[in-house]
Chains A and B, each alone.
Chain A
Amino acid sequence: MSKEKKESVIESSIKRKYKLQAKDVKVWYGDFMAIKGISMDIKPNKVTAFIGPSGCGKSTFLRLFNRMNDYVDGFKMDGEINIDDKNINDKDINVELLRKQVGMVFQKPNPFPKSIFENVAYGLKIQGLKDKKFLEERVVNSLKRVALWDEVKDDLNKNALALSGGQQQRLCIARTLAVEPSIILMDEPTSALDPISTAKIEELIYKLKDKYTIVIVTHNMQQASRISDNTAFFYLGELIEYDKTNKIFTNPEKQQTENYITGRFG
């Protein structure tokens, strides 16, 4: 291999070390500066947790990666957000395509008021995929992956709103998986659920790590320490500390981090 080729291969493999990247990102809502200049690299096939007190900007930061902030009045952004080294705010980026690559699960389960089948197939249908067999396969597959299949296989036409909260949230995850994203963003996915449903979903997240890069915003310190590989602590729009989860919870570098995770404030 020639020297240049070798270097570019090495470079690209180093580059690909980071799946998601933020470079000196600043965010404003009108005059209010919500994110004050954050840079961050997120590794592929890992679970990264965002923690911090309410209003510290972690949800805003999360939503930068699938550009859901675009719908908020007064939103303005500076800096780069890169996914697989491509700036997702470039003019030539198709934002709908981006959202098929980057899925999102919300805090309160929000299944569509349609049947279970329709819910999971929605993402595929809006891409124009119509083949019945294909849709069925994908739907069944996704439901199996979230361990919901056995519970709903008898009636996929049942209205999704008839499911319990934990089932609904798993359905939302299945819906996201059906379009085969490579990244899944989760905004406090279990905060509205009971402990058993929470445990089931945490188990699911842990299993999904193999195939997906997962970023999860959570208020629950134990959850962050249980399921994440890396943890980022946000405070008042700044990234205070970002390190391996084990380090953050046994011996954080910054006193602020320690104060937050030991419950001294926030």
Chain B
Amino acid sequence: MLNLEDHREILNQSGLEMFQLVRKQFIKSKEAFLNHDNDLAEEVLHTENRVNGMDLKLDRECERFIALHNPVAGDLRFVLALRKINFDLERIGDHAYGISSYIVEVDTPVDKEVLDKLEFAEMYKAALSMLDDIRDAYQTGNTKKARKVFKKDKILNKINLNSFGVISEEVQKDPKLIDQYLLLFSVIKKIERVGDLITNIGEEIIFYLEAEVLKHRKKKGPSKPSK
């Protein structure tokens, strides 16, 4: 018979584990991409199993928690949020996997100039900082940190939007490179998606801590003080 508090702590730690795992996947896939490191990419592909396994485990644990303890109020919001966060983290892991599989398939590394033009470094930097913010927010129960990601996501969206123009310009200059550019476009889209997923996680964390539902709402500025 597992005590509710202990059980909740186990879930919490599992959630944190998932965060760490997915974060590592994302960082590795970034390194692999920016440095065209084949070995690192293979590592990411290999670790995907663990991510999936973790996802299933966490899902099962959440179900068990609900069945055994009939949670209400804070406990209920916690487990509902965790299920969604788990789902979003798994998708982030998927994107990291996707980016890494490109590296493995494509032989030639991308031109450094092109990477700069498309602002890959900035994009990745923003995404990574968002990931760190959201992990901290989860770990420390800090909604202020959670709210930071909404603003940072705008950077990702902006870069994504710009990339259309840049890519179409470059393709017109040298149509032979269209394959490469399509690939880059995919990766940009993936990173932009990761940003969206992180904002989702942010909403869930705010829901859990403040019982405020931000889904389908415009994100406003100052936040309510948490309990």
Contact = CB atoms under 8 A, between A and B. Distances in A.
Which among A249, A252, A263 has the greatest number of chain B C-beta atoms within 10 A?
A263
Contacts of B211: 250-251
7 shortest interchain CB distances as A-B pairs: A251-B211, A249-B72, A258-B73, A262-B75, A261-B72, A258-B74, A262-B73
Interface residues of B, number: 12
Interface in B77-93: 77
Interface in B191-227: 211, 227
B73 A252 contact: yes
Contacts of B73: 248-252, 258, 261-262
A222 B70 contact: yes
Contacts of A261: 72-73
A251 B70 CA distance: 15
Interface of B: 4-5, 70-77, 211, 227
Interface in A39-98: none
Contacts of B5: 264
14 contacts: A221-B72, A248-B73, A249-B73, A250-B73, A250-B76, A251-B77, A251-B211, A252-B73, A255-B227, A261-B73, A262-B4, A262-B75, A263-B4, A264-B5
Which among B5, B74, B75, B211 has the greatest number of chain A C-beta atoms within 10 A?
B74
A252 B76 CA distance: 12
A101 interface: no
A262 B72 contact: yes
B8 to A, nearest CB: 10
A41 B211 CA distance: 26
A263 to B, nearest CB: 6
Contacts of A141: none
B77 A250 contact: yes
A261 B73 CA distance: 8
Nearest to B74: A258
Interface of B is mostly: helix
A255 B227 CA distance: 8
Nearest to A221: B72
A252 to B, nearest CB: 6
Interface string A252-266: 100100100111100
A225 interface: yes
A251 B78 CA distance: 12
Contacts of B76: 249-250
Which among B4, B72, B74, B76 has the greatest number of chain A C-beta atoms within 10 A?
B72
Contacts of A222: 70
Contacts of B227: 255
Contacts of A250: 72-73, 76-77, 211
A255 B226 CA distance: 12
Contacts of B72: 221, 225, 249-250, 261-262
A252 B75 CA distance: 12
B204 to A, nearest CB: 15
A225 B5 CA distance: 21
B80 to A, nearest CB: 10
Contacts of A263: 4
A248 B73 CA distance: 7
Contacts of A264: 5
A262 B71 contact: yes
A263 B77 CA distance: 15
B127 to A, nearest CB: 32
Nearest to B8: A262
Contacts of B4: 262-263
Given A262-B4, A262-B71, 9 more contacts: A225-B72, A248-B73, A250-B72, A250-B73, A250-B211, A251-B77, A258-B73, A261-B73, A262-B73
Contacts of B77: 250-251
A255 B74 CA distance: 10
A188 B70 CA distance: 20
A249 B74 CA distance: 9
